[in-house]
């Protein structure tokens, strides 16, 4: 099984731990990196080359929507998912931006299936080109 490189954009270590645990518990082989500030995000995308990005909506000094813009400018093909404490507040804006999905932090068990779907969709889009 290939290793999935997951970039977390989050300032809450507990949320990252729970999401990572859920992914590993579901049998996904992941390599994870976490950034919490804007200046580290672009560097992490360029050096880590994530297969998928999971971002909080509220970060110190910038928003998840800004993180999406930075990620999209760096590599528009990387699926971007939001992990939100209040998904109903961020759903419309995030989907309009082009996020693959919005996941309630309290429902992290949905992450493995969503990640698999995002990666499958990305793979099929690459094969169309």
% helix, strand, coil for the chain, step of 5: 55, 25, 20
| Per-residue confidence in pLDDT tens, the chain, 129 aa | 689 999 999 999 999 999 999 999 999 999 999 999 998 999 999 999 999 999 998 888 899 999 999 999 999 999 999 988 776 666 677 777 888 988 888 888 889 999 999 999 877 554 344
Structural domain 4-106, CATH architecture: 3-Layer(aba) Sandwich (3.40)
CA-nearest of 66, 55, 46, 40 to 7 is: 55
Using CA atoms, how far apart are residues 94 and 101, in angstroms rounded to an integer? Answer: 8
pTM over 0.75: yes
Domain boundaries, the chain: 4-106
């Amino acid at each position: 099984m290939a290793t999935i490189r997951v970039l977390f954009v989050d300032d809450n270590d507990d949320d990252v731990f729970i999401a990572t645990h859920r992914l590993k518990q579901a049998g996904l082989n992941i390599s994870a990196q976490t950034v919490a500030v804007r200046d580290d995000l672009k560097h992490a995308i360029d050096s880590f080359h994530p297969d998928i990005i999971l971002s909080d909506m509220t970060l110190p000094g910038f928003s998840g929507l800004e993180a999406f813009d930075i990620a999209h400018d760096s590599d528009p093909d990387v699926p971007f998912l939001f992990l939100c404490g209040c998904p109903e507040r961020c759903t419309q804006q995030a989907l309009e931006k082009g996020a693959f999905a919005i996941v309630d932090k309290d429902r992290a068990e949905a992450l493995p299936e969503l990640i698999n779907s995002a990666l499958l969709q990305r793979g099929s889009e690459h094969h169309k080109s």
